[in-house]
Structure 1
Amino acid sequence: MKFNELKNINSELLKSLSEINFETLSPIQEKTIPYALEGFDIIAQAPTGTGKTASFGIPILNNLNSESNYIEHLVIAPTRELSMQIYNQFIKLGKYLNLKIALIIGGVSYEKQFKELSKKPNIIIGTPGRINDFIKNKKINFDHIKTFTLDEADELLNMGFKEEIEAIISNLNSDHQSFFFTATFDEKIKNMAKKIVKDDHKNIEISSGLKTSQTITQEYLLVKEKTKFVSLIKLLQYYKPKSLVIFCRTKKRVDELCDALKQLDFDAIGLHGDIAQKNRSFIMNQFRNNKKQILVTTDVAARGIDIHHIEWIINFDLPQEIEYYTHRIGRVGRNGMSGYSLSFVKIDEIEHLREIEIRTNSQIKEIFLPKEEEIYQKWRMQIDEKFQKILNQNEDNQFSYLENELMEKYTLHDLATIIAYYLLQDKHKYKKINLTPEPSVILKGQAKIRNIKNRINKFNHNSRSNNSKNNNKKNRRAKWQK
């Protein structure tokens, strides 16, 4: 379906959709938007990267009364980064709609946000903690709410925002439309959804939630903890991805890995929850605008972040929760585009990786590091290209005075030795960098029990098979002896 085929869609909204090349609805949009435009509450389950923001953004903006001086639309997201991304998407979609919108998130001064609220916005987008603060201090009023949206509802509950969300719901009027978007749908999510949507709501499901996109090539590399960094550097030097996100399990790991990459002159920047909001916004903009090549991050960037130029995702540490694997690699392969993900896996994490494969319906293929000879040849080619570039730039003999001085002072052998020393200095430097070891991610709970049962069954099957073979051998031996 085309956007211009939607019934009762605002012409000004269509104009902005056309400008940002929104022509055909994605599956989640096609199933959601028509019902939303009719006024139905929505529970939608869909994986990351499928166009969920427009699924609720378009109906909200289509229902906008820019003449109103009340807050009529409220959107809640789990993280500041996702809230800001939704905010920016609304700005693009509502370019011709006289939009009055405020972003209410933690890490920003209250005074600045009081100023935004004084402009009487129609739409509020933000995180539950800060919005609750404003409710408690009676600085915000939701008596005139028309739509209430929870985006990434499962993550909101995982992050412990249940009480804040319930407090927000208790301050809304009863006559509003609700949009409930989630990637996974367990009992906790069902219970929360019941408190939000009406009985005649529409249930929409695009996938099971954990399933990964078929357009993402998924591979893993078997490593030891102490060889992770060296392996990473070899891969980066050999394949030279232009834009990648490296996921780590802890904030300390992010800081250490980012610093180590910078020591080797990689264009890296780090992101995690302990960084002040102003700096987090700066970091994301640096990466989003291609001013930094590598983003090293915790799972704070695993959800909803939509940056089209990302080529690679590297799981430097596997996530404990399988759903985070889906969300991490979902930073690539968005909207049907191709992408690549690579996971570093220790030998005692293989069972966990197999569980990820099963529950995400994925095929994760093992790869191996390029051979030393291949790495060396690639490195040599890159050095030759750099040398040639320098020679081409020196056509005007701008370095001639220095060339003559060096030729008089050193022999050709001396100069070659000096160049080799400087070339190899950085090449071997990474071998001396040691990161603080991280514990392995192992199976737990029901997954571990299931895995043990499978191993027992396999052992019993093999034992029965071996016993059967031994009995056949005995029978043959007895027959021969007769």
Structure 2
Amino acid sequence: MENFKELGVDKDIIKGLNDLNIIKPTQIQAEVISVLLQANTDLIGQAQTGTGKTAAFGIPLLHRINTKADKVQGLILCPTRELGQQIAKQLFKFTKYTDQIFTESVYGGEKIEKQISALRRPTHIIVATPGRLIDLVKRKAVDLSHVKTVILDEADEMMSMGFKTQLDEILTHLTSVENRWLFSATMPKEIMQIVKRHFSPRAHKIEVSGKNVVNKNIQHQFLICEDNEKLNILVQFLKSEQDNRGVVFCKTKASAQVLAKQLIAKNIKTDAIHGDLKQIERDKVMRAFKNESLRILVATDVAARGIDIVDLAFVVHYELPDKEEYYTHRSGRTARAGKQGVSLSLVNSKELKNLRYFQKTLNIAFNQIRPRK
């Protein structure tokens, strides 16, 4: 499909998309929207981060909202506060020229009373992290009995963060649902269990770019070095990137904190996000990174969930992750919205076999680069 009109998208939503310079549907948008606008259905979509999934499910959801009914009709579940806020913001922008559709984003780390108060206003769509949604339901602060469409976004991230039990509980609680849509970059067995238990066996399955769910615009590079050489090699790489911005990944909170301090000592504007940070501290770091007063963000896998910052030129795997889905999600922070990006792995001799495994499982080509002497 060349444009959204051919897909059957409402002309007022198309005007909102045009303002955002979203003119031509991506592959996932074209395939998903054409199915979801036709009839009520269950759907499982597999596509990497940064391919336009929010519009793929957001546009059909907006078509289903009856603005005259002051009820929650759509529910979007996602892993993190940042992703929830980002989805809510996108839906708001898509509806700039339509009848008002009210979306509320709720998540942990924020005072629940404030969110309860916000939900007393007219609300058509809730974007929620699973734990906070359950808290709100238990307090009878939200009525989900009129929800017709439930969406699980970044489902694999929700699994890796331990939300499977909560998702089972929420999906069991939703009795009037007519549409269940799930989107994920990878399909671990926990997701297949959710699908088997809660989705129709006739659910549409749409997989973009075949087995390879890693963005084609990313150059995957690796450099072999010993652990005691990694810092100097990283600093060299950052200098070669001049003013370009990126995220450096570590496996633990402790190593993220240490590396951030080491980079600051080398006069590189850096801060770290990890699980020990309070939400207010995390927000402060993310604000500084978004407004470009920080050049480098050092992050652990869980802390980086849902980060969406445009124009990141690279990610560096300072420590290689254990699982291939973590590699996919880390790499997906760069090369967003059609841009090019670099994913550089600094690997010691023991980590090399992990890299070979990722290469085979994710069907991607890694180029070896040599350290500058």
**Could you state the TM-score of these two structures normalised by the residue count of structure 2?**
0.94
d(CA) in 2 for partners of 1:129 and 1:206?
Answer: 30
- 2:12 corresponds to: 12
Q: Which moved more, 1:165-174 or 1:276-285?
A: 276-285
d(CA) in 1 for partners of 2:243 and 2:345?
Answer: 15
Q: Which moved more, 1:54-63 or 1:174-183?
A: 174-183
Pair 1:84-2:85 in alignment: yes
d(CA) in 2 for partners of 1:284 and 1:307?
Answer: 10
**1:292-347 residue CA offsets vs partner (Å, 9 max, x unmatched):** 21111111365553322100111111001111111111112234321111111011
Q: 1:334 aligns to what SS in structure 2?
A: coil
Amino acid at match of 2:32: T
Q: Is the 8 A contact 2:79 2:306 kept in 1?
A: no
Structure number with larger C-alpha Rg = 1
Note the residue ranges of structure 1 that are not aligned, 5 or more in a row.
372-482
Q: Is the 8 A contact 1:83 1:125 kept in 2?
A: yes
Are residues 238 and 159 of structure 1, via their aligned partners in 2, closer, same or farther at CA, if it must alter by over 3 Å? Answer: closer
Amino acid at match of 1:311: A
**1:406-450 residue CA offsets vs partner (Å, 9 max, x unmatched):** xxxxxxxxxxxxxxxxxxxxxxxxxxxxxxxxxxxxxxxxxxxxx
Pair 1:224-2:226 in alignment: yes
d(CA) in 2 for partners of 1:283 and 1:300?
Answer: 16
Q: Is the 8 A contact 2:148 2:176 kept in 1?
A: no
- 2:61 corresponds to: 60
Q: 1:274 aligns with which of 273, 276, 281?
A: 276
- 1:365 corresponds to: 367
d(CA) in 2 for partners of 1:188 and 1:239?
Answer: 39
Residue 6 (structure 1) shift: 2.2
Q: Is the 8 A contact 1:248 1:296 kept in 2?
A: yes
- 2:119 corresponds to: 117
Amino acid at match of 1:100: F
Residue 183 (structure 1) shift: 1.6
Residue 235 (structure 1) shift: 2.1
d(CA) in 1 for partners of 2:330 and 2:177?
Answer: 37
What RMSD in Å do the two structures reach over aligned CA positions?
Answer: 1.8
Within a 5 Å distance, the mapping from 1:34-433 to structure 2 comes to 34-39=34-39, 40-97=41-98, 98-208=100-210, 211-300=213-302, 302-371=304-373
Amino acid at match of 2:271: I
Q: 2:126 aligns to what SS in structure 1?
A: strand
d(CA) in 2 for partners of 1:199 and 1:320?
Answer: 32
Q: 2:30 aligns to what SS in structure 1?
A: helix
Are residues 5 and 139 of structure 1, via their aligned partners in 2, closer, same or farther at CA, if it must alter by over 3 Å? Answer: same
Residue 180 (structure 1) shift: 0.9
d(CA) in 1 for partners of 2:286 and 2:59?
Answer: 25
Are residues 184 and 237 of structure 1, via their aligned partners in 2, closer, same or farther at CA, if it must alter by over 3 Å? Answer: closer
d(CA) in 2 for partners of 1:3 and 1:308?
Answer: 23
Are residues 209 and 49 of structure 1, via their aligned partners in 2, closer, same or farther at CA, if it must alter by over 3 Å? Answer: farther
Residue 141 (structure 1) shift: 1.2
Q: 2:123 aligns to what SS in structure 1?
A: coil
Q: Is the 8 A contact 1:78 1:155 kept in 2?
A: yes
Are residues 276 and 32 of structure 1, via their aligned partners in 2, closer, same or farther at CA, if it must alter by over 3 Å? Answer: same
Q: Is the 8 A contact 2:47 2:213 kept in 1?
A: no
**Could you state the TM-score of these two structures normalised by the residue count of structure 1?**
0.73
Residue 177 (structure 1) shift: 1.1
Residue 369 (structure 1) shift: 1.9
d(CA) in 1 for partners of 2:254 and 2:95?
Answer: 40
d(CA) in 1 for partners of 2:246 and 2:240?
Answer: 14
Residue 147 (structure 1) shift: 0.8
Amino acid at match of 1:66: T
Q: 1:300 aligns to what SS in structure 2?
A: coil
Which one scores higher on RCO, CA 8 angstroms, separation ≥ 6? 2
Q: Is the 8 A contact 1:74 1:149 kept in 2?
A: yes
- 1:374 corresponds to: none
d(CA) in 2 for partners of 1:188 and 1:310?
Answer: 31
Tell me which protein shows more strand as a share of its residues.
Answer: 2
d(CA) in 2 for partners of 1:175 and 1:214?
Answer: 35
d(CA) in 2 for partners of 1:88 and 1:280?
Answer: 19
Provide the identity percentage: 36
Residue 263 (structure 1) shift: 2.2
Q: 1:193 aligns to what SS in structure 2?
A: helix
d(CA) in 2 for partners of 1:195 and 1:92?
Answer: 34
Q: 2:67 aligns to what SS in structure 1?
A: coil
Residue 368 (structure 1) shift: 1.6
- 1:399 corresponds to: none
Q: Is the 8 A contact 1:142 1:172 kept in 2?
A: yes
Residue 61 (structure 1) shift: 1.3
Are residues 26 and 259 of structure 1, via their aligned partners in 2, closer, same or farther at CA, if it must alter by over 3 Å? Answer: same
d(CA) in 1 for partners of 2:200 and 2:354?
Answer: 39
Are residues 232 and 20 of structure 1, via their aligned partners in 2, closer, same or farther at CA, if it must alter by over 3 Å? Answer: same
d(CA) in 1 for partners of 2:115 and 2:22?
Answer: 31
Amino acid at match of 1:36: L
Are residues 292 and 315 of structure 1, via their aligned partners in 2, closer, same or farther at CA, if it must alter by over 3 Å? Answer: same
Residue 209 (structure 1) shift: 5.8
Residue 287 (structure 1) shift: 1.8
Residue 166 (structure 1) shift: 1.5
Tell me which protein shows more helix as a share of its residues.
Answer: 1
Q: 1:21 aligns to what SS in structure 2?
A: coil
Q: Is the 8 A contact 2:248 2:296 kept in 1?
A: yes
Q: Is the 8 A contact 1:249 1:299 kept in 2?
A: yes
Q: Is the 8 A contact 2:271 2:294 kept in 1?
A: yes
Q: Is the 8 A contact 1:48 1:303 kept in 2?
A: no
- 2:25 corresponds to: 25
